[in-house]
Chain A
Amino acid sequence: MRWISPVALVLLWQLASSTGVLPPEKLASPLTVAQSAGELIADGQLADAFVVSLGRVFFGFLIGGIIGVALGLVSGLSRWGETLLDPPVQMLRTLPHLGLIPLFILWFGIGEEPKLALVAAGVAFPLYLNLHAGIRQTDPGLVEAAKVLGYSRIERIVHVVLPSAVPQTLVGLRIALGTAWLSLIVGEQINADAGLGFLINNAREFLRTDVVVVGLVVYALLGLTTDALVRLLERRVLRWRTR
């Protein structure tokens, strides 16, 4: 029954477009959008844009992920690391990272680099925060149990500390993926000459609201897909939580 109201909304939208209440230069009709989507798919434009944007998210995520996980491990596992790393990271995270765009443009120019940097910044913080918190939440009782069983410090980290940080880290991963897409969308507004952002901006210049909507729908589908993938991962990795 939950599909009734969305379908009704789309029908209403189509009705508004057909009757001229909603002019196409404000918002194209659902049918036009579907038709443009078909064309964009057929001539390969959408696929090209898609691959470029996906690549940006992937590499930005990779860079941010490595930084976030490395810092999170160091400050989670060592007192010194925490003392040195945690205060500056906690201060920086209060900055909305999207506000860094002007600096990133000054530092990295207007090519691919600022886009990757923006995604990386959006990813690194949630991963760091949740990995760090997850490690710190480890039940000391379990660590003690492993100690008495003859486990060395490294073995205790591998067999007890890191596994207990996994649930919280997965929460961080989901947040990080959400921020990654958001950062991409914002980043692609910077002088993009390829990718979904370019497709959308280009369409805007020609008042092609249908193409703009197609781009937005693809953004949304990408976000939903990665979120579903993480959920799947959670279900597999956190099987032991089923009570």
Chain B
Amino acid sequence: MANPVSLRGLRKAFGARTVLDGIDLEIAPGEFVALLGRSGCGKSTLLRILAGLDREIDGEARVSGAVSIAFQQPRLLPWRKVWRNIALGLHKPDGRSIALKALQEVRLPDHADAWPLTLSGGEAQRVSLARALVREPDVLLLDEPFGALDALTRLAMHHLVEDLWARHRPAVLLVTHDVDEALLLADRILVLDEGRIVATHHVDLPRPRRRASVVEQRTRVLADLGVDVETAA
């Protein structure tokens, strides 16, 4: 079976500025990959390419199957109630019941009939996440989907994504700035820097993972991000 995501020598430049400079990446079916890297290193650019939104590239980018993406900004249609935003990608008659269930899962059961502009940042982000999840895609792209969430809700969303992933087994590419989050969720962690993948970590810890079990590996990932834990702590 072909890999749902396959990149060979992917390059992307905006004018004279090269943002992605030769990316080779294969993501196997059902693999959970986390992508780390400093702000502005090209993570969102990579996700846009994978979502088919940017075709002005060099190299080869093949993505197969249904793709769904939760953007860094929620991108909800403000003139559609929350549940309609979630049902947007379903093209199904029983959209409302599916949307309501998804809202339950992202812990917003009472917001089905709210207008998106009335939501808080974290709430909008969860609606956007729900919209990406209900499509049960083959490739799930998540661009910092937990950025605006408090620690507790964030934990709940980790479980939700992991659950959904365990059930439907999409290939996942999760962009995050949180190393612990990457270690808790991913099979493989990539570090992007200067337009290249400069480090790859395989995380073989058994699931479900707990915070304590990831501490040791965290030091090594942080070192690749240029953080010296001894002095940082």
Assembled-state Cα–Cα distance A150/B73 (Å): 19
Q: Is the interface of A mostly helix, strand, loop or mixed?
A: helix
A178 → B minimal CB distance (Å): 26
**Interface flag for A147 (CB, 8 Å):** yes
**Interface flag for A148 (CB, 8 Å):** yes
What 0/1 readout, one digit per residue, does chain B (53-77) give for beta carbons within 8 Å of chain A?
1000000000000011101010101
Assembled-state Cα–Cα distance A145/B131 (Å): 10
Contact of B52 among A142, A145, A148, A163 (CB under 8 A): A148
**Interface flag for A160 (CB, 8 Å):** yes
Assembled-state Cα–Cα distance A149/B75 (Å): 12
B52, B68, B69, B78: residue with the most chain A Cβ atoms closer than 10 Å: B78
A163, A240, A242: residue with the most chain B Cβ atoms closer than 10 Å: A240
Contact of B115 among A145, A149, A164, A242 (CB under 8 A): A242
Contact of B88 among A141, A146, A242, A243 (CB under 8 A): A146
**Interface flag for A144 (CB, 8 Å):** yes
What 0/1 readout, one digit per residue, does chain A (144-163) give for beta carbons within 8 Å of chain B?
11111110000000011001
**Interface flag for A239 (CB, 8 Å):** yes
**Interface flag for B97 (CB, 8 Å):** no
Please state if B135 and A149 are interface contacts (CB–CB under 8 Å): yes
Which residues from chain A contact B14 at a C-beta distance below 8 Å? none
Q: B residues 64-105 with Cβ under 8 Å of A?
A: 67-69, 71, 73, 75, 77-80, 88-89, 91
Please state if B75 and A145 are interface contacts (CB–CB under 8 Å): yes
B52, B53, B67, B135: residue with the most chain A Cβ atoms closer than 10 Å: B53
Please state if B77 and A150 are interface contacts (CB–CB under 8 Å): no
Interface size bucket, A side?
10 to 19
Which residues from chain B contact A240 at a C-beta distance below 8 Å? 78-80, 115-117
Please state if A148 and B68 are interface contacts (CB–CB under 8 Å): yes
> Which residue in chain A gives the minimum CB-CB distance to B88?
A149
B5 → A minimal CB distance (Å): 15
B contact residues, total (Cβ < 8 Å): 23
> Which residue in chain B gives the minimum CB-CB distance to A243?
B117
> Which residue in chain A gives the minimum CB-CB distance to B117?
A243
How many pairs of residues, A versus B, come closer than 8 Å at their CB atoms? 49
**Interface flag for B51 (CB, 8 Å):** yes
Please state if B89 and A144 are interface contacts (CB–CB under 8 Å): no
Known contacts A148-B52, A148-B53, A240-B117: A142-B67 contact under CB 8 Å: no
Contact of B51 among A141, A148, A164 (CB under 8 A): A148
**Interface flag for A2 (CB, 8 Å):** no
**Interface flag for B118 (CB, 8 Å):** yes
Which residues from chain A contact B131 at a C-beta distance below 8 Å? 149
Please state if A150 and B118 are interface contacts (CB–CB under 8 Å): no
B56 → A minimal CB distance (Å): 14
Please state if B53 and A159 are interface contacts (CB–CB under 8 Å): no
Q: A residues 196-243 with Cβ under 8 Å of B?
A: 239-243
Known contacts A145-B71, A148-B52, A148-B69: A163-B79 contact under CB 8 Å: yes
What 0/1 readout, one digit per residue, does chain B (169-211) give for beta carbons within 8 Å of chain A?
0000000000000000000000000000000000000000000
Which residues from chain A contact B79 at a C-beta distance below 8 Å? 163-164, 166, 240
Assembled-state Cα–Cα distance A241/B116 (Å): 9
Please state if B91 and A150 are interface contacts (CB–CB under 8 Å): yes
Contact of A148 among B67, B80, B116 (CB under 8 A): B67
Please state if B53 and A144 are interface contacts (CB–CB under 8 Å): yes
Please state if A159 and B52 are interface contacts (CB–CB under 8 Å): no
A144, A147, A163, A242: residue with the most chain B Cβ atoms closer than 10 Å: A144
Which residues from chain B contact A149 at a C-beta distance below 8 Å? 68, 88-89, 131, 135
Assembled-state Cα–Cα distance A239/B116 (Å): 11
Assembled-state Cα–Cα distance A7/B199 (Å): 80
Known contacts A147-B53, A148-B52, A148-B69: A141-B75 contact under CB 8 Å: yes
| 6 A-B pairs whose Cβ atoms sit less than 8 Å apart in the complex | A144-B75, A145-B71, A149-B88, A163-B77, A166-B79, A242-B118
The 4 A-B residue pairs whose C-beta atoms are closest, nearest first, are A149-B89, A145-B75, A240-B115, A240-B79
Known: A144-B75, A147-B52. 14 other contacts (CB 8 A): A141-B71, A144-B48, A145-B71, A145-B75, A145-B77, A148-B67, A149-B68, A159-B77, A159-B88, A239-B115, A240-B78, A240-B116, A241-B78, A241-B117
Please list the residues of chain B having a beta carbon within 8 angstroms of any beta carbon in chain A.
48, 51-53, 67-69, 71, 73, 75, 77-80, 88-89, 91, 115-118, 131, 135
